Amino acid sequence: MHLCRDISSLAFGALPGKLSICDGFCATGIRGIRYKKENTNAASITFVDLSEKAIKCAKKNAIANGICGKKSASAKTNVRTNKIAASKSANAGAGANDAAAGCKFVHAEICSYLRENPFDFVELDPFGSPAPYLHDAMHSLAYRKLSYLSVTATDMAVLCGAHHAACLKNYQSAPLDNEFCHENAVRILIGKVARAAADFALGITPIFSISHRHYVKIFFRVQKGAVEAVESIKSLGYVSWCPKCLSRTWARLPLVRKCPCSGIYVHAGPMWLGKLWDEKTVKKMIAQNKKRKYENELEIGKLLSLIAGELSLPLFYYDLHVVCKKQKVGAVAKSKVIATLQKAGFAAASTHFNSNAIKTDAKVEDIVKAIKGH
Ligand X SMILES: C[S@@+](CC[C@H](N)C(=O)[O-])C[C@H]1O[C@@H](n2cnc3c(N)ncnc32)[C@H](O)[C@@H]1O
Contact residues for ligand X, defined by CB under 6 A? 1, 5, 25-28, 30-31, 48-51, 54, 109-110, 125-127
Residue numbers 68-127 binding Zn ion by CB under 5 A: none
Question: What does 245 bind: ligand X, Zn ion, none (CB cut-off 5 to 8 Å by kind)?
Answer: Zn ion
Q: Is the Cβ–Cβ distance between 21 and 36 less than 8 Å?
A: yes
d(C-alpha 131, C-alpha 171), whole Å: 7
Judged by CB under 5 A, which of 11, 245, 276, 370 binds Zn ion?
245
Q: Which is nearer to ligand X, 220 or 250 (CB)?
A: 220
Bridge partners (DSSP) of residue 222 are 147, 204
To Zn ion, the closest distance from the beta carbon of 323 in angstroms equals 12
Instruction: Choose the contact partner of 186 out of Zn ion, ligand X, none; CB within 5 to 8 A by kind.
Output: none
d(CA 138, CA 148): 10
Give the one entry of ligand X, Zn ion, none that residue 261 binds, where binding means its C-beta sits below a cut-off of 5 to 8 angstroms depending on kind: Zn ion
> Do residues 303 and 337 lie in contact, with contact meaning Cβ atoms separated by under 8 Å?
no
354 vs 38, 105, 211, 284, CA distance in Å? 30, 39, 9, 24
Smallest separation, CB 23 to ligand X (Å): 7
- 261 binding Zn ion? (CB under 5 A): yes
Task: Please state at what angle helix 164-171 crosses helix 181-198, rounded to 10 degrees.
Answer: 20
β-pair partners for 267: 240
Rank residues 151 and 320 by Cβ distance to ligand X and give the closer one: 151
Q: Of the two residues 159 and 349, which places its CB atom closer to ligand X in the complex?
A: 159
Residues 265, 266, 270, 273: what is their CA dihedral angle, to the nearest 10 degrees?
Answer: -50
Partner in contact with 243, chosen from Zn ion, ligand X, none, beta carbon below 5 to 8 Å by kind: none
266-272 and 236-241 beta bridge pairing: antiparallel
Footprint (CB under 5 A) of Zn ion, residues 204-243 = 242
The item of ligand X, Zn ion, none sharing an interface with residue 110, based on CB under 5 to 8 Å by kind, is ligand X
Q: What angle do CA 159, 165, 169 make, to 5 degrees?
A: 80
Pseudo-torsion of CA 334, 337, 338, 341, nearest 10°? -170
In the list Zn ion, ligand X, none, the entry touching 125 (Cβ below 5 to 8 angstroms by class) is: ligand X
By the rule CB under 5 A, 2 interacts with Zn ion: no
Q: Can residue 368 be called a binding residue for Zn ion (CB under 5 A)? A: no
Going by C-alpha positions, the residue among 224, 36, 210 that lies closest to residue 138 is: 224
Considering the complex, state which of residue 263 and residue 301 has its C-beta at the smaller distance from Zn ion. 263
Helix (H, G, I), strand (E, B) or coil at 346: coil
Q: Which part of the chain contacts Zn ion (CB under 5 A), choosing from 37-45, 122-130, 257-265, 330-338?
A: 257-265
Residue 264 binding Zn ion, by CB under 5 A: no
Distance between CA 225 and CA 202 in Å, rounded? 6
| Binds 273: which of ligand X, Zn ion, none (CB < 5-8 Å by kind) | none
Nearest to Zn ion of 256, 347 (CB atom):
256
Please give the residue ranges that form the binding site for Zn ion (CB under 5 A). 242, 244-245, 247, 259, 261, 263
